[in-house]
Structures are given as structure tokens and as C-alpha cells.
Amino acid sequence: MAAVKAFGDTYLPKQKPKGVRARVAALDYALEAMPPHYRACLALLVSWRNRHVHRSTDAISSSDREELVSAQDAIYEAHSHCDILKTLEQYDGMKGPTLKDISTLISASHRAIAAVDAKILVTANLKRYAQDVLSRAFRKSRKTTRDAQ
């Protein structure tokens, strides 16, 4: 867990950054773990959600769009023949996402987070993490016992 804390201390300001995009970008920058087309899928998912939930006029960046288009074959193969160009047509047409679009973007987000998790596990000191968790649990248990007396 020390790796996650170090990441936060180094790359995230004490004040929460504005929006999910900024946090995903900071995490990706620090760990360099996400395949670029998965990061672009996350950007598309967040933008599409914000359009419908907040009536945002914000759009995905041209670099995210280019990444999605250039990875269309990989996305097609990895995500049950999803045609990302049709997905972008839905998005550009200000239409809601189809079930296929949603399932693809959610699957891509799962894979992006799995890549981040794998990177954290490789860099984390698991012995130190276990000791920290046990120490906190012990202190909390002692405090609860004292408060009950």
C-alpha cells in the first residue's frame, strides 16, 4: 500500500482534482500501466456519462479519438466484435450508448483497472502492506476495547 500512498503524495494534490478525467490521467501518468486505447475508452465513457447526467458539452480529446480509431481492430477482437467507429457515431450524434457500447466501455474500464492493479502489485511491498493493515486493525481493536470500558 506504500506504493499507492507514495503515488498519491507525489502526483495528486491534497485537494481533490476536478473530475474523474484528471484522476485517471494522474494515475495513468504515474503508473504508465494502462494501454492507451483503454485510457481512451475511459475518457469516452466519462464524457458520455457527463453528457447525459450533467448535460455537459465537453467532448473527448482529438488524441483520445485518434487512439480509439487506431485501435479499432484490437477493440473489435477483444470486445466481441465491437465496431468503435459506430460507437463514435452514436457519441457524435448525441445519442445514447447502445448496450454493446456500454458493455464494451465497462469491459475496457475493468481491463484498464486490472492493468493498474497488476502494476501496483509488482511495485508494492506486500510484506509492509500486510504489517500496516494488521497494525491498524490491532490499534483500532484496542481503541474499541478501551472505549467500551
The residue whose grid cell reads 492507451 is 36
Res. 77: pLDDT tops 90: yes
**Model's pTM, two decimal places?**
0.72
Which domain does 104 fall in, by range?
2-148
Cell of residue 88, nine digits: 463514435
Q: How far apart are CA 32 and CA 73, in angstroms?
A: 22
Q: How high does pLDDT run on average in the chain?
A: 85
Checking if the pLDDT of 47 tops 60, the result is yes
* Residue 118 confidence (pLDDT) above 90: no
Q: Which set of grid coordinates corresponds to residue 78?
A: 477483444
Q: Decide if 125 contacts 76 (C-beta within 8 A).
A: no
In this structure, the number of other CB atoms found within 10 A of the CB of residue 117 comes to 12
Total count of domains within the chain: 1
Read off the pLDDT of each residue in 49-69 and give the average, rounded to a whole number.
Answer: 91
